């Protein structure tokens, strides 16, 4: 499959280390395939520990210079990178759809969202203020500075191939850190295109490095090498736990954005049409392959039947197809394993008494396409009520009281995003306070923005990305006590 780009040079097939584009013939290349039809869209090196070690050395050498640049300079370079991303938004979206499958409109939206993190942290670079503290001693002064943590590593998932990278790299570079990025094997081309634009924006050699290849080997080097002072990971909770344990011997700083199981609660007093619109936006975004997707829809009995009927009509109208085709709203799942998981969860639910209200089967397009689905009469003992689906399936559970809804919502080991619809202001405050999650959408199904802190509690991870907090993940404080005055 030949990608037609306005700027063909954005399609890269080499790793980016120390400002150089390099081959790595130590193992057969990784073929990048389009999930819609399986065509090969590119190939990247299957690099391992040696290349990763060289990237760490390059990042360490570059750190000395980059950390000493002014915040003003770093802000200007990041701003240029942001501008170049927007100038090449169509090409970056085409690359993303080709390797990840999401509809072009969604891919273009992600590029704008990803760029907004760079814009935000270009500004935040200049606001890493310190403190002058009133001294308890007459002859001493107390200063507190904030400094970059040093060489960082980022390991990112396939579902948002650009945004998950920029919301790590932007604060890292803004703080004065240098970084090595390992993108997902399924979606390396977006990462390499971002690196090509960063290079053009004036990011110096070694400040940003992108390594593609064997996850376990690259991860082993990134987590064990003492030069790396921080790891930022976005992905499954299982791998997050593993990487955290691998970082323990060298006590690295950690940011972990992990799995989710978002409750989406609709109370009797909700605007049902607004709730249906919010459920569509939250649940079926990226064909349900989103960590903050509504994963369990809890609907109060008074409006349950009306909500299920309206949602089912809207879901049946969603257009499924190749993400490159105009007006397609639902692309394929990323691979056969993702499809098998959806089928397994649905079979379990129906086998325990759930009812398919819309969709429920593989799409007639075949491959990894799946019908957008609504499954009703879901109960807590079904796997679909407890596991992250990562597919276009909305499980609906009935509830009677507010307390029951909160108990169900909080029963999950995850606590990333949550949503609820209510027009009762007292209930809004009660439920928002009671829900155990890092993020709460109230009368809305879309909450992600660079200006707000993104992250979870419980088994959904630790740390925050975006907002004024995001740069803190890449800085530490230094207390200076000046005596003899």
Ligand X SMILES: O=C[C@H](O)CS(=O)(=O)O
Ligand Y SMILES: NC(=O)c1ccc[n+]([C@@H]2O[C@H](COP(=O)([O-])OP(=O)(O)OC[C@H]3O[C@@H](n4cnc5c(N)ncnc54)[C@H](O)[C@@H]3O)[C@@H](O)[C@H]2O)c1
Query: Catalytic amino acids?
Result: 257
By Cβ distance, which residue is nearest to ligand Y? 219
Work out how close the CB of 26 gets to ligand Y at its nearest, in angstroms, rounded to a whole number.
Answer: 18
Site for ligand Y contains 124 (CB under 6 A): no
Write each residue from 40 to 79 as x if it is in contact with ligand Y (CB under 6 A), else as -, in one continuous string.
----------------------------------------
Measured from the CB atom, is 286 or 373 closer to ligand X?
A: 286
Size of the site for ligand Y (CB under 6 A): 27
* Binding piece for ligand Y, criterion CB under 6 A, among 204-212, 254-262, 421-429, 469-477: 254-262
Measured from the CB atom, is 103 or 176 closer to ligand Y?
A: 103
Measured from the CB atom, is 356 or 439 closer to ligand X?
A: 439
Measured from the CB atom, is 90 or 185 closer to ligand Y?
A: 185
Write each residue from 347 to 386 as x if it is in contact with ligand Y (CB under 6 A), else as -, in one continuous string.
----------------------------------------
Q: Which of the listed partners (ligand Y, ligand X, none) does 163 bind, with a CB threshold of 5 to 8 Å by partner kind?
A: ligand X
End-to-end distance of the chain based on CA atoms, in angstroms? 71
With CB under 6 A as the contact rule, the residue among 41, 77, 92, 291 that binds ligand Y is: 291
Site for ligand Y contains 406 (CB under 6 A): no
- Are 205 and 59 within 8 A, CB to CB? no
* Binding piece for ligand Y, criterion CB under 6 A, among 16-24, 139-147, 232-240, 344-352: 232-240
Q: What is the chain's Cα-based Rg?
A: 23
Q: SS3 letters for the chain?
A: CCCCCCCHHHCCCCEEECCEEECCCCCCCEEEECCCCCCEEEEECCECHHHHHHHHHHHHHHHHHHCCCCHHHHHHHHHHHHHHHHHCHHHHHHHHHHHHCCCHHHHHHHHHHHHHHHHHHHHHHHHCCCEEECCCCCCCEEEEEEEECCEEEEECCCCCCCHHHHHHHHHHHHHCCEEEEECCCCCHHHHHHHHHHHHHHCCCCCCEEECCECHHHHHHHHHHCCCEEEEEEECCHHHHHHHHHHHHHHCCEEEEECCCCEEEEECCCCCHHHHHHHHHHHHCHHHHCCCCCEEEEEEECCCHHHHHHHHHHHHHCCCECCCCCCCCCECCCCCHHHHHHHHHHHHHHHHCCCEEEECCCECCCCCCCECCEEEECCCCCCHHHCCCCCCCEEEEEEECCHHHHHHHHHCCCEECEEEEECCCHHHHHHHHHHCCCCEEEECCCCCCCCCCCECCEECCEECCECCCCHHHHHEEEEEEEECCC
Report which of 151, 220, 215 is spatially closest to residue 180, judged by C-alpha positions: 151
With CB under 6 A as the contact rule, the residue among 150, 235, 391, 466 that binds ligand Y is: 235
Q: Which of the listed partners (ligand X, ligand Y, none) does 242 bind, with a CB threshold of 5 to 8 Å by partner kind?
A: ligand Y
Site for ligand Y contains 159 (CB under 6 A): yes
The residue ranges that bind ligand X (CB under 6 A) are: 159-160, 163, 290-292, 448, 454
Site for ligand Y contains 184 (CB under 6 A): yes
* Binding piece for ligand Y, criterion CB under 6 A, among 46-54, 213-221, 308-316, 471-479: 213-221
Measured from the CB atom, is 27 or 480 closer to ligand Y?
A: 27
- Residue 368 and residue 337: Cα distance in Å, rounded? 9
Measured from the CB atom, is 36 or 187 closer to ligand Y?
A: 187
Site for ligand Y contains 263 (CB under 6 A): no
Site for ligand Y contains 216 (CB under 6 A): yes
* Binding piece for ligand Y, criterion CB under 6 A, among 48-56, 139-147, 235-243, 346-354: 235-243
Work out how close the CB of 164 gets to ligand X at its nearest, in angstroms, rounded to a whole number.
Answer: 6
- Are 15 and 22 within 8 A, CB to CB? yes
Measured from the CB atom, is 128 or 190 closer to ligand X?
A: 190
Q: Which of the listed partners (ligand Y, ligand X, none) does 448 bind, with a CB threshold of 5 to 8 Å by partner kind?
A: ligand X
With CB under 6 A as the contact rule, the residue among 84, 155, 315, 385 that binds ligand Y is: 155
Q: Residues interacting with ligand Y, by CB under 6 A?
A: 155-160, 164, 182, 184-185, 215-216, 219, 234-236, 239, 242, 257-260, 291, 388, 390, 416, 461
């Amino acid at each position: 499959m030949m990608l037609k780009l306005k700027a063909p040079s954005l399609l890269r097939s080499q790793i980016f280390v120390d400002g150089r584009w390099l081959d790595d013939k130590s193992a057969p290349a990784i073929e990048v395939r389009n999930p819609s039809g399986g065509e090969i869209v590119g190939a990247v090196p299957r690099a391992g520990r040696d290349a990763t070690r060289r990237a760490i050395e390059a990042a360490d050498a570059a750190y000395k210079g980059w950390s000493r640049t002014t915040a003003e300079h770093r802000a200007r370079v990041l701003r240029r990178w942001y501008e170049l991303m927007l100038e090449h938004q169509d090409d970056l979206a085409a690359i993303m759809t080709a390797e990840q499958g999401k509809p072009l409109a969604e891919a273009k939206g992600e590029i704008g969202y990803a760029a907004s993190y760079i814009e935000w942290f270009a500004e935040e670079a200049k606001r890493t203020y310190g403190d002058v503290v009133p001294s308890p001693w007459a002859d001493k002064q107390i200063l507190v500075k904030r400094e970059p943590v040093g060489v960082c590593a980022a390991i990112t998932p396939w579902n948002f191939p650009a945004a998950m990278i920029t919301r790590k790299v932007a604060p890292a570079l803004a703080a004065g850190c240098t970084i090595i990025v390992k993108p997902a094997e399924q979606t390396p081309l977006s990462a390499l295109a971002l690196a090509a634009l960063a290079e053009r924006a004036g990011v110096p050699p070694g400040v940003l490095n992108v390594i593609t290849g064997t996850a376990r080997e690259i991860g082993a080097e990134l987590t064990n090498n003492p030069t790396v002072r921080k790891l930022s990971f976005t992905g499954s909770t299982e791998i997050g736990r593993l990487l955290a344990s691998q970082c323990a011997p060298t006590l690295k700083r950690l940011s972990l954005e992990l799995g989710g199981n978002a409750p989406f609660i609709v109370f009797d007093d909700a605007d049902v049409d607004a709730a249906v619109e919010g459920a569509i936006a939250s649940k079926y975004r990226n064909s349900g392959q989103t960590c903050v997707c509504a994963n369990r829809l809890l609907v109060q009995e008074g409006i349950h039947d009306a909500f299920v009927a309206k949602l089912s009509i809207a879901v049946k109208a969603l257009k499924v197809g190749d993400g490159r085709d105009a007006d397609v709203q639902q692309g394929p799942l990323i691979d056969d394993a993702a499809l098998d998981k959806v089928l397994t969860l649905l079979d379990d639910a129906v086998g325990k008494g759930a009812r398919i209200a819309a969709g429920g089967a593989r799409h007639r397009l075949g491959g990894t396409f799946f019908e957008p689905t609504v499954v009703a009469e879901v109960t807590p003992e079904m796997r679909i009520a407890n596991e992250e689906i990562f597919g276009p399936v909305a499980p609906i559970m009935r509830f009677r009281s507010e307390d029951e809804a909160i108990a169900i919502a909080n029963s999950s080991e995850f606590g990333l995003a949550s949503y609820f619809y209510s027009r009762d202001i007292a209930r809004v405050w009660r439920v928002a306070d009671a829900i155990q999650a890092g993020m709460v959408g109230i009368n809305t199904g879309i909450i992600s923005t660079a200006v707000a802190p993104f992250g979870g509690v419980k088994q959904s991870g630790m740390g925050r990305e975006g907002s004024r907090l995001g740069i803190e993940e890449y800085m530490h404080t230094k207390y200076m006590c000046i005596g003899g005055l």
